Structure 1
Amino acid sequence: MNIQLRVIAVVVVLLAFFGLSGVFYTLQEGQQAIVVQFGRPVGEPITEAGLHMKLPFVQEVRRFEKRLLIWDGDPNQIPTKGREFIWVDTTARWRIADARKFLENVASEEGAQSRLNDILDSVVRDQVSSSELVELVRSASWELPEQEDLQDIPKEREEELKREIARGREEITRTILTEARRIIPQYGIELVDVRIKRLDYVESVREKVYERMISERKRIAAQFRSEGEGRSAEILGEMEKELRQIRSTAYRRVQEIQGAADARATAIYGTAYNNNPDFYGFLQTLESYREKPNQNSVLILTTESDFYQYIKKANPEKVP
């Protein structure tokens, strides 16, 4: 009898232990839970951390995150309003706002990610397709650079930079967030933020853009070379002009000095000749004697010629 009572007591204790262990459950910080009975939610979501109770065996606890969760979509190839095909990579932050509704509609985070893929990809595609590329890239508060920074930019690019846009990238992302928020709450999800991580041209368009960039740079380089050659020709022309002017001035100065010297020499010769014409004639005659006659010519003079007058008048006996 005692053995039977002991067995019964042990069984009761075990049943009580398993029963109590199935009644209590704990909820960690950053978690929320919904109690499910026979596969259906029971009661309101439990959002406070701590120890909680449920019916053993017939009820179970489904735990969900209360913290922000990340959604990263796959990059999509989308045409803009101007028919430029670009890759658009989008990310979002979301949280489970209503655990009961979340469990009933998507069941798990994987199901929520799949539903977000459908909703956000569709909204992003609609907004990108209805926007110009410059609106997706530029902010509405973007300010035009200083004029000195635009000197090396081609005219057509400068006009594009000065172009006013109706809405910028921030407004487009806000519109995406607003449109998605109209649909997502029915799944127990709160969409906190949506951002465009990256925009890029598709490969075929990127090659054309690179070719255009290379062509523009070559054109700018050719323009710089042309301006440099023009400036070089201008500098060389100025230098040649100054050089001719210096040479002309120097030649004129030489002629002036030479003329003044010739005039001075002539004046000296004239003065000397006037002082003693006979001596001057004699000196000039001696100079002509010293000059060698031309080998290809013959000079015939008579003894009565004046060319020898000083020789004829000379008296050798009086020479000391």
Structure 2
Amino acid sequence: MTTAPTPVPSSAAVDTNGGGGTPGTATPASPAAPTATRRRGRSRTWLGALPLLVFFAVGFGLPAVAIAIGAFTTSSDAPGGGGTFTFSNLTDSLQGAYWTALLGSIKLSALTALIGTVIGLPLAQAVATSRFRIFRDMVTSGSGVLANFGGVPLAFMFVATLGNAGEVTTSLGLKKYGWSLYTFDGLAVVYLYFLIPLMILTITPALEGLRVQWREAASNNGATNFQYWRYVALPVLLPSLLGGYVLLFGASFAAYATAEAMVGSSIPLISMQIGDALSGNVLVGQGNLALALGLDMIVVACLVMAIYLPLQRRSAKWLS
């Protein structure tokens, strides 16, 4: 009688756990390896961002802490000595000429940001829909330069062209129409020189994100161009428009060198008041008043960013 040979187990059934597992079954891979890989990836990401975080902490964090501490303490030349906790700096910064300057800065920033948004949107639309790539590149590059052009050179340029003896003012006879560069309206015109290019840079990516299919669908349903913008494009672009407006507001609110070089203290602005306080143009014992004014600006800037960031996230979700 012949006995059948014993079958040899295949390699797929061989215990892969060193003999410790159940014969004929393969031990599944441990999930610890992918988890460890993800953790290493996160650690590398944090290491890459570490220089930026250190720069932010040194360049922005430490000054902000110093301003917050100084705003609530007396200055070194105070009668009772410096370093004493007080609310007088903050209350004084919200009264009299300082309150007027804060309102003046808010008014100027709100007005110029609104004008920059209204003018910048159609210009950005012309750039986004242009068929000439060289035109788009030139406008984008030029806007990047002009958006960062400010300070004394910008003030000198406008004084030479639109000042009381400027070339444009004298050639067109603008003075007889009541034009003056050294007024609130004149300063607003100067601010628009860098706010409009900033708006073009901000809103152009959102305009390029509008789907061609949306316009085609609106046209197929009988919608006019105005109805397309009223019911489709503008609702989608609204978060980006509001975010651009807030960004322009912050840029105008923080501007200092241009206004200082052009109008000085003739127009009440919070940045001018801070400059005067830092130069010692305050009463004895109120040296830390400039820090309180700076804290007021930081609060306004934080409110601006608290509005801007959610709007940007909502816009990115729609246009992604």
TM-score interval, normalised by the smaller of the two chains? under 0.3
Q: TM-score, normalised by structure 2?
A: 0.25
Structure with the higher fraction of residues in helix conformation: 2
Structure with the higher fraction of residues in strand conformation: 1
- Higher RCO (CA 8 Å, separation ≥ 6 residues): 2
Larger-Rg structure: 1
